């Protein structure tokens, strides 16, 4: 019998084992009507127009909802350039085509009181940032008096005609749990961006989002702690818990500053981490890629200072490595005014679009933040119909089975692990043993974690998978306060997998655990020599 067929039959058997009431799941939120989406491109750049047309066709957005602007091709422009070439033309378009209604407030300001457009999609070729105007903020004191900004975030407040250009505007959609079409905030626009290091990558982001939505985003999760500020650490730890609750097998990394360079991650569908200024971890391996459709986010003040590079900051390198969606900051946002990762992650799991989740997790607009990827992408909408289906992709079937198992037995770990072992015996896929190992680690069962990692290592055929199991075992040994054993294991891994590019991760772990002593300052040596001479 062909392997794929037998594998699927094995999963059907597992599916039969799961025919008991699963945990209650809410229904997916409603889709955003395509007539409510405005697509903005750079009319001076043919590739920008072509990408906009491709997106409109792929998402069935009416052609009359495409708007070309004659604007700069630079990433960063001045405030006056932004007003004349982007902000004003979009407002004029909305007024001319009767797409919104403006009125005076009791305070005498003008704002949108009705709008047929809810989402604005900025296409690669349209500038990313507004530079600081030093003269405008002269004499204005305070941490949040900046006037540099992300263009997308400025456009989110497009319906507030008279708002000041310094500081930020409170986001009324923050922490909401309803579709933007139901939220009744007519002045607010959810602005997302399809951009990246190249037009090829930007087009791939669109195509991947649409393809993955058909079957859902399935795979492994990674949470990368840094021991930094408590607020950010709490977000990441809660994402770690939420992943396991959702049945997403998740690796947590506590190495500072980031997960080790070239780490051999597998099928990474969800990544959240911090904190370094530029790409690190698996992104240092040019051959490593995220799983198709992946949501990957690294928190740093300037993670999106440019999105056109593949080796600086984070947004560009993340997209270059195959992710479909990310968020970032074009300037310093301060932690309390960046995306609340925990909320972003949860709203995506709830089935919202990328752009809705992005703005539900942002306290402010007219600030420094960007949401990157197809704004209409709903990576987890399929989780609301959790089941094994003949149409599931071969690379997803085991992860769907794992999610179904967690939905049924997540509250009884012993039963859950027994069912996953049964699934392994029917499929012979080491991912089941690795999932059990990682789940034991999450529950502080480090000895059991090591046992199942060793089993998985024996089953896997890929050197990268075997190496990862060894690296995870070293982490479990460190958690058991067995540093000497962990060092011995890492040295063995370094020797055994010396021809594997990912062995760099073992080398990095060794160097972090055995740092070289700092040389004594030259002045100390001179003083010691002088005292001896005296």
Single out the residue of 512, 516, 5 nearest to residue 261, CA to CA: 512
Please write the tens of the pLDDT for every residue from 434-480: 999 999 999 999 999 999 999 999 999 999 999 999 999 999 999 99
Measure the CA–CA gap between 504 and 508, rounded to whole angstroms. Answer: 6
Report pLDDT for 3.
Answer: 40
- Omega of the bond leading into 175 within 30 degrees of 0 (cis): no
Q: 403: Cβ–Cβ under 8 A, 6 or more apart, which residues?
A: 218, 246, 247, 248, 383, 386
The answer to whether residues 186 and 115 touch, using CB atoms and an 8 Å cutoff, is: yes
DSSP state of 295: E
Show the low-confidence residues of the chain (pLDDT under 70): 1-26, 135-143, 521-534
Beta strands in 181-294 (DSSP E): 190-194, 220-224, 250-253, 268-273
Give residue 533's pLDDT: 39
Among candidate residues 181, 191, 193, 121, the one with its CA nearest the CA of residue 154: 191
User: In 3-state terms, what secondary structure has residue 352?
Assistant: coil
Task: Tally Cβ neighbours within 10 Å of residue 420.
Answer: 23
Q: Are strands 100-104 and 76-77 parallel, antiparallel or unpaired?
A: unpaired
How far is residue 387's CA from residue 446's CA, in Å, rounded to a whole number?
Answer: 31
Containing 212, the helix (H) or strand (E) segment is: helix 199-215
pLDDT attached to residue 20: 41
Residue 142, pLDDT score? 59
Domains and CATH numbers, the chain: 34-217+291-381 (no CATH), 385-513 (1.25.40.10)
pLDDT number for residue 519: 73
Residue 515: what pLDDT? Answer: 83
CB-CB contact of 228 with 157 (8 Å) = no
């Amino acid at each position: 019998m062909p392997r794929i067929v037998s594998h699927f039959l094995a999963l059907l058997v597992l599916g039969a084992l799961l025919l008991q009431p699963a945990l209650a799941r809410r229904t997916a939120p409603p889709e955003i009507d395509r007539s409510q989406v405005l697509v903005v491109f750079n009319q001076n750049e043919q590739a920008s127009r072509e990408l906009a047309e491709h997106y409109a066709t792929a998402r069935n957005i009416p052609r009359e909802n495409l708007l070309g602007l004659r604007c700069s091709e630079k990433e960063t422009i001045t405030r006056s350039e932004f007003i004349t070439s982007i902000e004003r033309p979009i407002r004029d378009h909305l007024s001319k085509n009767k797409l919104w209604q403006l009125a005076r407030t009791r305070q005498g300001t003008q704002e949108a009181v009705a709008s047929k457009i809810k989402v604005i999609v900025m296409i690669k070729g349209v500038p990313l940032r507004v530079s600081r105007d030093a003269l405008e903020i002269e004499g204005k004191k305070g941490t949040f008096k900046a006037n540099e900004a992300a263009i997308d975030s400025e456009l989110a407040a497009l319906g507030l005609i008279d708002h000041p250009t310094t500081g930020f505007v409170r986001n009324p959609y923050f922490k909401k749990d309803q579709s933007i079409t139901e939220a009744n905030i007519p002045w607010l626009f959810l602005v997302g961006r399809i951009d990246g290091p190249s037009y090829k990558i930007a087009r791939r982001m669109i195509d991947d989002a649409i393809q993955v939505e058909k079957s859902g985003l399935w795979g492994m999760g990674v949470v990368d702690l840094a021991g930094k500020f408590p607020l950010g650490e709490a977000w990441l730890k809660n994402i770690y818990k939420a992943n396991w609750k959702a049945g997403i097998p998740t690796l947590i990394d506590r190495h500072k500053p980031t997960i080790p360079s070239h780490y051999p991650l597998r099928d990474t569908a969800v990544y959240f981490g911090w904190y370094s200024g530029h790409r690190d971890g698996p992104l240092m391996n040019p051959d490593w890629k995220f799983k198709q459709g992946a949501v990957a986010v690294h928190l740093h003040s300037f993670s999106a200072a440019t999105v056109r590079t593949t080796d600086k900051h984070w947004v560009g390198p993340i997209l270059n490595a195959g992710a479909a969606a990310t968020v970032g900051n074009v300037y310093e946002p301060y932690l309390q005014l960046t995306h609340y990762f925990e909320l972003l992650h949860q709203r995506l799991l709830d089935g919202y679009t990328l752009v809705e989740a992005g703005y539900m997790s942002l306290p402010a607009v007219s600030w420094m933040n960007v949401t990157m990827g197809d704004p209409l992408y709903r990576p987890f909408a399929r989780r609301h119909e959790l089941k094994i289906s003949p149409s599931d992709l071969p690379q997803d079937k085991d992860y769907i089975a794992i999610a179904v198992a967690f939905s049924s037995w997540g509250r009884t770990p012993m039963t859950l692990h027994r069912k996953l072992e049964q699934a392994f015996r029917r499929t012979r896929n080491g991912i089941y043993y690795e999932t059990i190992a990682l789940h034991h680690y999450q529950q502080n069962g480090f000895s059991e974690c090591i046992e199942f990692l060793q089993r998985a290592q024996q089953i896997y055929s890929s050197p990268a998978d075997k190496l990862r199991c060894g690296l995870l075992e070293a982490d479990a040994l460190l958690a058991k306060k067995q540093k000497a054993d962990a060092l011995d294991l890492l040295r063995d891994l370094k020797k055994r997998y010396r021809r594997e590019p990912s062995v760099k991760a073992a080398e990095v772990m060794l160097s972090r655990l055995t740092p070289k002593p700092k040389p004594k300052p030259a002045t100390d040596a001179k003083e010691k020599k002088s005292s001896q001479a005296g």
